[in-house]
Amino acid sequence: MQSLISNARSDQDRKARKIVLEILESSLKASNPKDLVKKQVQLKGNFLNFASFTLNLDDYDRIYVIGNGKTSGAMAEAINEILQKRITNGFVNIPRGMSRGLKTGCIKLNEAGHPIPDKAGIKGVRCILELLEDVKESDLIISLISGGGSALLPLPAGNITLTEMQSVTNNLLKCGAKIDEINIVRKHVSDIQGGRLALKVFPAPLISLIISDVVGNHLPSIASGLTVPDPSTYSDAVEILKRYCIWEKSSQSVRLHLNNGLEGKVPESPKLSDQYFKNVYNILLGSNRGVLKTASVKAWQLRLIPMVLSAFIEGEARHVGTVIASIARETVLSDGFLHKPTVVLAGGETTVTVIGHGKGGRNQELALSASLRIDGLEGIVIASIGTDGVDGPTDAAGALVDGSTLKRARERGMNPFDYLNDNDSYNFFMNLNDLIMTGPTGTNIGDLIILVSI
């Protein structure tokens, strides 16, 4: 990360880059999922306290821990530290390579494919279902759910194969469909998502601890709402596939299952009025809002006044980048509406409609696009990162730009428009040494956009 400072071409840029990196670092640190659980779930004697209610553990015979998602391994470690030997058994699906160093006691961590679901994921689902097979009203189930959970807990419905399920998701991702839309489809080609996990836990009481990576934290959308009543229907799923012109491309068994759903031949996902949700408690432990709060606090500590635009930022990454750059340009004018020094923060998750053949991620593309509008301006730095440290199919968390970015690109004979048109932001920033590389952070609460103007 040292290059991110030394790449600066002026003292002002260097100072702005330092501020951005300090805010980034403290934001990522405070949004560690283990700390999020331990701050909000506490055991006092036999009483397990959550933010808003308390359980007496003496009321339960056995405690099972299940879960799935990018940060669920760290959550399992936290729950294990809290409940220790009180846990009867546990099984959690996490992405490949993410179990290293985690101590989860009797909660087994199973590594599976993400973002593309795989056989290990299916094996994990089976283990979880086995574990739930004989649960009773007197048992307590704690589920640890986080972003990425949709892919990590695959159980295709009907005759749909895993490959067919994957290709539906892939096609939607490529068309720039929103994550909510992708999840509505996922929930209707799955036998576990869209509240169906709650159905399998019934009649045992279920506490679902959730860390959200979904813009707006709509519970039915996080990890495809495993334990949440599903407001969407087969008809919504079909409409989305048609809207993105993917219906015709989808496999026969996908279309058959959805058509069966439309005709009422297979059961609709469970709804709020169903008995399954009588004893289900969904608790949101962490979200993008939290990371923005930490970032604001850090800005104040650095004696800068933060302006947080929104935790709901969505839209095509390159155009969001343009708007952020528009705001940056406003700070430069002596008679402008925004005044230096300032920190502008925004969170959410943008999308990229892939048209080129390059390598990149939404945060890198946002930054590249922003660089086009701040060319030559001094003391302005814009960074965008995925809090999970993995931006698109790359090993970078995001990227950072300033007013000298284009100059440095031109010096290397690079045309930024070519890279943008080819969705090749990764190679653009790789050549400039301006990728933000954090490695997988263990956190996954959306994206963070930081604009510093000094």
Q: How many residues bind a second copy (CB under 8 A)?
A: 32
Interface with a second copy, residue 337, by CB under 8 A: yes
**Closest CB to a second copy among residues 120, 414:** 414
By CB under 8 A, what part of segment 54-73 binds a second copy?
Answer: none
The CA distance from 425 to 442, in Å, is 24
Collapsing DSSP to helix, strand or coil, 48 comes out as strand
Exactly one of 107, 182, 189, 313 binds a second copy (CB under 8 A); that residue is: 313
Nearer to a second copy, 209 or 346 (CB): 346
Reduce the DSSP state of residue 55 to 3 states and report it.
strand
**Residue 57 to residue 26: CA distance in whole angstroms:** 36
368 binds a second copy (CB under 8 A): no
Contact 392, 360 (CB under 8 A): yes
The alpha carbon dihedral of 428, 432, 434, 439 has a sign of positive
* Site membership for a second copy, residue 40 (CB under 8 A): no
* Nearer Cβ to a second copy (82/244): 244
Of the residues 267, 336, 393, 439, which one makes contact with a second copy according to CB under 8 A: 336
β-bridge mates for residue 361, sequence order: none
Could you say which residues in the range 214-243 bind a second copy, by CB under 8 A?
216, 243
Binding flag, residue 343, a second copy (CB under 8 A): no
What is the closest distance, in whole angstroms, from the C-beta atom of residue 41 to a second copy in the complex?
20
**CB of 141 or CB of 382, closer to a second copy:** 382
Task: With beta carbons less than 8 A apart as the criterion, state whether 282 and 219 touch.
Answer: yes
**Which of these, 292, 294, 253, lies nearest to 157 by C-alpha position?**
253
Return the residues of window 278-297 that contact a second copy according to CB under 8 A: 289, 292, 296
Cβ contacts of 113 within 8 Å, gap of 6 or more: 95, 96, 120, 121, 151, 152
Here the tokens at position 154 are 């695959």
Residue among 63, 155, 327, 435 that touches a second copy (CB under 8 A): 327
Tell me how far, at minimum, the Cβ of 116 lies from a second copy, in Å. 27
How far is Cα 56 from Cα 45, in angstroms, rounded to an integer? 9
Residue from 116, 308, 414, 437 that binds a second copy (CB under 8 A)?
308
Q: How far is the CB of 159 from a second copy (least distance, A)?
A: 30
Residue at token pair 């991620």: 361
Q: Give the footprint of a second copy on this chain (CB under 8 A).
A: 216, 243, 289, 292, 296, 307-316, 319-320, 322-323, 325-327, 329-330, 335-338, 346, 348, 373, 417
